[in-house]
Structures are given as structure tokens and as C-alpha cells.
Amino acid sequence: MSFLNPSVLWGLLALAVPIIIHFFNLQRPRQVLFSNVAFVKEVQKNVVRKIKLKQWLLLIARCIAVAAAVLAFAHPVWVSKDNKMLRGNRSVAIIIDNSASMEAGNEKGAYFLQAGSLAKSIINTYTQQDEFLLLPSSSIRMNVNFSEKEQVLEDLQKLKIQQKVTTQNTILNGLDKLFERSNNIIKEIYFLSDFQKSTVLADTQLIKLSLDSATLIKFIPLATRPQTNLYLSSHKLNSQIIEKNKPVQFSFTVVNDGEKEVKDLGIRIHVGEKVVAIATQTIPEKSSQEVSLTFTPTESGWQSGFIEIEDNPIVFDNERYFSFFVPDKEPVLVVEGNRSQGVHILYQDLFTQFTPSFISDKAISGVQLNDYKSVIMVGVSDISSGLSEKLKTYLNEGGGVMFFPGENMNLTNVNTFLQSINIGKFSELSSSQSGIKASVADLQHPVFDGVFAQSQKSRTLDAPAIYRYYPLTLNNGSIQSKILSLENQYPILLQSQVGNGAFMLWTTFPGDAWTDLHVKTLFTPIMYRATQRISRTTGEAPNQELGKYEPIPVRTTKQDMIKLKGQANQEYIPEQYAQNEATVLNFDNLDIKQGNYGIVQNEEELGKISFNVADTESKLDFANKDALETLLTQKGLGIIKVLNPEPAAVTQSIQIEKEGTPLWKWFIVILLLALTTEVLILRFGEGIARKKIEKP
């Protein structure tokens, strides 16, 4: 046992007072007349002994009362062997979960507000000699200085909900760096969170706690009320080719995390300032449902919008953001080795959506490919190593290439290029005097959209005849989409994804000696759709999940700074670096909010990007104290202590850990018992003595 106020123990000198009173109480003797002296002697023998015993008992009771009062004011505490090592000034880190799910709450209010109030109680429990660090889970900073109590309390008032999340595994693995600038041996970290089951220690990253015995980790789970939620999950544009004033189909997923079916859920799609689609939907309990709606874009260029539903208890996931591009005039580079009159006329006269530039295949080395949305290579017979690298870079950074083989093709060089992008390789030119029908077609592919009349009940292909073609053997494991093939299964047109770009390969040349494809009615719409397809800007903008960012390349030849611009003049500068003919953007260091943002360079909008909160934040099922303790034990993290979220319980836990178990209440009880004993002795002892004296 030890004392928090040992100076009060000087008060034990007051024990001398009852002792002095006992031995030096000089009362004046009273004169009592007795008729029989023998009776007095009898009283002296029987009563005096009891009177002395009473006086000794009074002395003991009074000494105990004085001692108990003094010891109680000295704040006695019991310190266990483990806690003796943890006595002294402390470095205290408090991490508050400020993710979007903390908007939910119980009868005490939102969990985020409760976390702030509890953090304030924790800080005030410590002394001015302790040091503090307050961190939101959205922005965990390592190797920073600790602050005084007043500064941390001021910082606590500025804390806000953010949508970026740092995983608990990342936090736990970085604790040694968190305390690198702490000044005290004893370290404590508090993590205040709702501890959603979808996120608590959910990632597979291995946790290694490199901590000593003087470091204490404490989880405080705040969530207590079971809650359900509806939220918007994944979304996509089903129409892979988008045109102005043409309907596009848009689909998304609505998740009902509750135990009850939701009827007539209102759903709206906004594009720009307008509501472009409205629907109601019934979502069964504990299920997800894909919803498809159609709307018509009326403007060209980059468009932004969001899906909206009506739901509680949290609102951030009632909107999901998206962006897409509606092409207008797209620059296209047409590289001609052997000229195809049919292809030349298409781009020069018919395809008004595209702005073509025609060059010879000999001049391509001096052209900046990133100035064009797509490159159409017609009748090219050779691909040098330099051109191969240039095309691969262009494709990897999001460009689109369409390739028609030419006469007397250099198979070695062309196949080297095709193998380098994991397509396959050509064999020697094959010929058929009567022609082979290209009758095998994937009629569901987007290039066939608009080829068939709406009145046709079924799609019937007017198969072209192929007289000359290069048989193509595909690489094993490569992912290709055969759009048009011969009856012998050799492809005539296929599509492949190369890096961030699209590559379309024809195995025949659009000339009379090769095929009648170019005079078929389907050739024009296929070429139009295929060019749109490889342009890559005719679809959705990249979607980023807040906190789990993927770097994206932006095709630009300029070196100026690229910014993200949102609504209300929000502006962010992402980390960026040049890579070949593009600039790669990284968003890890941005404290960005969900929404649509323009990718802007020198006031020119290069594209759009959408940010949405992770679905895991919408799943409100939580781990309570018992469940959290079990989970920590299973993961070998039993060293982490789970505290009751009640402020009084947390404060008491800190005081016991820091000072020891308080014993002053027991000494107050002893004081009261001693005083009660004194009263009883005085009352009943005097009565007994009087009866003995009055006895005849």
C-alpha cells in the first residue's frame, strides 16, 4: 500500500490527543454518602474494573478514528506488481475513428460526438506532466511531436468526420513510429471507434506489435445499438458506346442491410443540374439488387452526375457519383501504308464525329501519338522496334489502336510486336479463290450496335467473303474478344485490352483482292463503332474508392501542374510524375471528399474522375466488447485491452492503472465504525456502571 498525499500522514501525531486525555484526565472527585462502607468496597471490586475497561476501549476507538481519518485524507492506494512498473508520467496517444460510419449513433447521440466527449474525459484524467497526441483515423501521422493537455483539448474541437479511412492493421503496425518522439517511458494508445465487423482487423495484412511492456493499447467500442442501412454499391454504364442524344443504359446496385423489406424506394439519377431518370424499387431484406435505368445525354464532352436514394440513419452512402464522356469531335490519326480507298473515305467524308489526320507509315516516327484519341493503321507492312515501343507506351497509357495488315508484311517484326502485347502471331498469308465466309460473329459486341434495324426480330449477319487473310494463332491465356471469325474459327476482327488502352486487330485488308467486307453495309457502322470503342473516352471516368486509391495515367504532353477541381471551388493537387508520354496521378496524400472532380491542366479539362466511399463503411453491424475481445484473442492480440465505453468506467480504469486501487473509502468505513463504537461504549457503559452502584 502507498499514499498519494503522504504529507497528510503527519496528522497521525494527533493520536497523542486521546492518549493525553486518557492518562491526564483529572476529574474532580464527587462526594457520595454511603451508610455502609462495605458496600463501597464491593463496588470498587466489581465496577471499577469495568470502568477502566471502558476507558481503554474508548481510547482504542478514538485512536482508530483519528488514524482512519488521517489515512483516508492521505489517499491510500493498493498497487499491484504489474502496475508498479507503470507508475510515472505518460505519453498518451488518442486515435478517434472519424470515418463516415461514425455518423450513426444510439440514444446518446452520434458515435463521433460520443468519441469526442470521451476523449476529453480521458485527457482530463491525466496530469499536466503527461503529454498527448490526438489523431483522426483518416490522417495517421507518424514521427510527430506530442503536445500539452491544453493544446490537445483545443485540437479536439476541430476534429471532423472524414471519408478517408486508415485500416486498424496499418495503425497497429506503425505504433513504434507513432511514439518515436514521445518523451516518457510509459506509453498509452486509445482507439475510440464503432468497430464495424466489416472493417475491424479485416485486411489480411499481418500484425506485428513491436512493443515493450510499458506500452498499453486500449480499444473502446462505442457502438451499442443494432442498426440497418440501405446504400448504393457498384455502378456501370452498360452502353459501351455513348453518343449525344442517344439513350444510354446505366446500372447500379442497391443493398438492403436490414431485416425488413423496403418497398417503393425512391431512386433518382442526376446529370448536371437535371434529374434524368426516376424509379421506385422494392428491395428484399438482407439482399442486394441491380437496378437499370435509361437516360439520354443531350450535351457532348465530359458529364458528371450521381445516383440518389432516400435512407437513414447515415446519409453519405445515399449518393454515388459517376462521370462519363460524350464524344463530339475526336482527333484520329490514320496511318496509311497501302491505302484503302474505302477506309480513307470513311474518315475523310463520312465520320463527322472524328477529325482525321492522314500520314504515311514512313512519317509516324515524328508524330506525337498522345495528340490523338486513336490510331488507325491501314495496310502497314512493318513495325520497327522503335515503333513497337511507341505503340506499346501509347496503349498502356490509354490510347486506342486499330491495325489492318498490308501487302508483303514483315511477319517477324509484326509478330514481335503482337507477342509483346500478348496477342499471338500471324502465319503466312492464306488465300481462297472462292472466298471463305466470315459468318461467325459476336453479335452482342458493342460494334454491332445500330447495325441491325430495330424492326428485325433477330440479328442476321450478311457475312462477308474473305479471299486473303493472315491466320492468327492466339497466345495461350490471353484474353481476347473475337468479334468476327471465319467458319474455320480463324479471327478476322478481335479486340484486346493492352494496359489501359484498347487494341483492335483485323487479319485482312479492306481491298477488293482481299475481301468484299468494305462494300458490305455492315462495314461502315462496324468501323464507326470500333473507332469509338478504341477511343476509350467514350465511357465512364475512373472511379476511385476513398482510402484505396489506384494511380491513373493522364495523357498529356505538357509539364504543367495537374489539379483536381470539384464543386464549390474545391481544389486539390495530387502527387504526379511523368511516365513516357503521360502524367501519372497518385491520390494517397489527398484528404479528398466523395464527389466528381475535373482533371485540369492550365484551365483545360483533360478528363473527369469520381470518388466514392468504400462499401464497408455502410455496413453498420458492430463488434461489442465481448466480441471484440474474442476477435483480438483469436488474432493473437490479447495484449490489447478492451474498455467499457462509459466515461466513469474509463476514468476509473485510468486512475487505478496510473495510481493504484483507491482504499480511502475503506478507511472512512473504519472511521465510522470507530465513532459508532465510541458512542455505544459511552451510552451502554455508563448505564451498566450506574446499575451496579444502585444495586442494594
Lowest-pLDDT choice from 323-332, 490-499, 540-549: 540-549
Q: How confident is the model at residue 427 (pLDDT cuts 50, 70, 90)?
A: very high
Over residues 5-10, mean pLDDT: 72
Residue 673, Ramachandran bin (φ over 0: left; ψ between -120 and 50: alpha; else beta): alpha
Over residues 406-413, mean pLDDT: 93
Q: How confident is the model at residue 85 (pLDDT cuts 50, 70, 90)?
A: very low
pLDDT given for residue 77 in this prediction: 65
pLDDT given for residue 389 in this prediction: 93
For strands 465-469 and 430-437, give the pairing. Answer: antiparallel
Mean predicted lDDT score pLDDT of the chain: 84
Helix or strand or coil: residue 631? helix
pLDDT given for residue 3 in this prediction: 65
pLDDT above 70: residue 39: no
pLDDT given for residue 446 in this prediction: 79
DSSP states along 407-467: TT--HHHHHHHHHHTT-EEE-S-EEEEEEEE--EE-TTSGGGTTTS-TT-SS----PPEEE
Tell me the HSE value of 535 on the side-chain side, using a 13 A CA sphere: 30
pLDDT above 50: residue 454: no
Q: How confident is the model at residue 48 (pLDDT cuts 50, 70, 90)?
A: low
Residue closest to 316 by CA, chosen among 593, 577, 90, 128: 593
Q: How confident is the model at residue 63 (pLDDT cuts 50, 70, 90)?
A: confident
Q: Which helix (H) or strand (E) holds 378?
A: strand 374-380
pLDDT given for residue 26 in this prediction: 46
Proportion of the chain above pLDDT 90, given as a percent: 40
Lowest-pLDDT choice from 78-87, 136-145, 195-204, 625-634: 78-87
pLDDT above 60: residue 83: no
Lowest-pLDDT choice from 170-179, 305-314, 480-489, 502-511: 170-179
pLDDT above 70: residue 136: yes
Residue closest to 239 by CA, chosen among 279, 302, 292, 291: 292
Lowest-pLDDT choice from 5-19, 35-49, 408-422, 626-640: 35-49
Alpha-carbon Rg for the chain in angstroms:
42
Highest mean pLDDT among 69-83, 174-188, 534-548: 174-188
Residue closest to 302 by CA, chosen among 611, 608, 610, 609: 608
Q: Is 685 exposed, middle or buried (0-12, 13-18, 19+ CB in 10 A)?
A: middle
Q: Which residue has the higher pLDDT, 467 or 84?
A: 467
- Show the cell assigned to 95: 486515435
Q: Which residue has the higher pLDDT, 117 or 174?
A: 117
Lowest-pLDDT choice from 18-32, 183-197, 203-217, 260-274: 18-32
pLDDT above 80: residue 451: no
Over residues 164-175, mean pLDDT: 78
Over residues 328-344, mean pLDDT: 92
Q: Which residue has the higher pLDDT, 423 or 12?
A: 423
Q: How confident is the model at residue 336 (pLDDT cuts 50, 70, 90)?
A: very high
Residue 195, Ramachandran bin (φ over 0: left; ψ between -120 and 50: alpha; else beta): left
Over residues 27-56, mean pLDDT: 60
Taking the chain, what is the end-to-end CA distance rounded to the nearest angstrom?
55
Alpha helices in 98-222 (DSSP H): 111-125, 149-156, 168-173, 175-178
In tens, the pLDDT along 480-519 reads 889 999 988 899 999 998 888 899 999 999 999 999 999 9
pLDDT given for residue 35 in this prediction: 58
pLDDT given for residue 459 in this prediction: 60
pLDDT given for residue 172 in this prediction: 82
In tens, the pLDDT along 558-597 reads 888 999 999 877 899 999 998 866 789 999 888 888 999 9
Q: Which residue has the higher pLDDT, 407 or 35?
A: 407
Lowest-pLDDT choice from 24-28, 188-192, 366-370: 24-28
**CA gap 364, 367 in Å, rounded:** 5
pLDDT above 80: residue 166: no
Helix count and strand count (H, E) for the chain: 15, 37
pLDDT above 70: residue 476: yes
Q: Which residue has the higher pLDDT, 532 or 400?
A: 400
pLDDT given for residue 694 in this prediction: 52
pLDDT given for residue 415 in this prediction: 95
**CA gap 254, 621 in Å, rounded:** 18
CA torsion through residues 62, 65, 68, 74, sign: negative
pLDDT above 90: residue 478: no
**CA gap 536, 599 in Å, rounded:** 16
**CA gap 124, 107 in Å, rounded:** 25
pLDDT above 70: residue 203: no
